[in-house]
Amino acid sequence: MAFSTVLLDIEGTVCPISFVKETLFPYFLQQVDSLTQSREPQVQDLLSQFKVEDVKAHIRDLVARDVKDPILKQLQGVIWQHGYASGQITAPVYADAINFIKSTNKPVYIYSSGSVKAQQLLFQYVRGSDKAIDLRPEIMGYYDINTSGVKTKSESYRNIARDIGCDPNDILFISDNVLELEAAQKAGLKSKLAIRPGNYPVEDLSAYDTISDFAQL
């Protein structure tokens, strides 16, 4: 499979799928009360965009249903920044993914439903043996639902290819989500299904090119 550029999903691909739901979401929910009382202009602006009477209940409901709401994603990025910077959160990126991102001669981009800010924080504070590893210098760019569109829509991948400035067929997209892979394929991208511990089972693995270790690339 020939490709010149790599586009990576995050959870279930470069780090455990459980990281978001078992670490990031709970940390965010613990801060909801203080978040709604914040006087930070950025936070107040985002909260005002919800247009609901009970903001706290609305936020908790969105998180519980894992709704890919762009306002929520931006708020989460603000809160997670405090958690990462204080050392309370580090990202458990797989060792093979770290090695690949550091060593590949192909440009690496990230596409996640989490905000670009949240993505950058995750790769800035990667869990190391003695201190956090900053992988941001190795990553060429980041895309989210605000910049490029929903991950299950083909047009989102066309948008990314145009922004990168290369033919869709030159991009390899790796994700644990088959709906995302199908959308990417319709847009002309090559794809591989990430097989990681804890990922949701896929009924027919033979229908996809799979990868369980980035050393396979």
Annotated binding-site positions for substrate: 112-113, 151
The pair of structure tokens assigned to 46 is: 């985002």
CB atoms within 10 A of CB 6: 22
Q: Hey, is 123 helix, strand or coil?
A: helix
Residues annotated within the binding site for Mg(2+) are 9, 11, 176
Contact indicator for 199, 12 with CB cutoff of 8 Å: yes
Here the contacts of 130-133 (C-beta below 8 Å, separation 24 or greater) are: 132/90, 133/93, 133/98
Residues annotated within the binding site are 9, 11, 112-113, 151, 176
Whole-number Å distance between alpha carbons of 200 and 45: 36
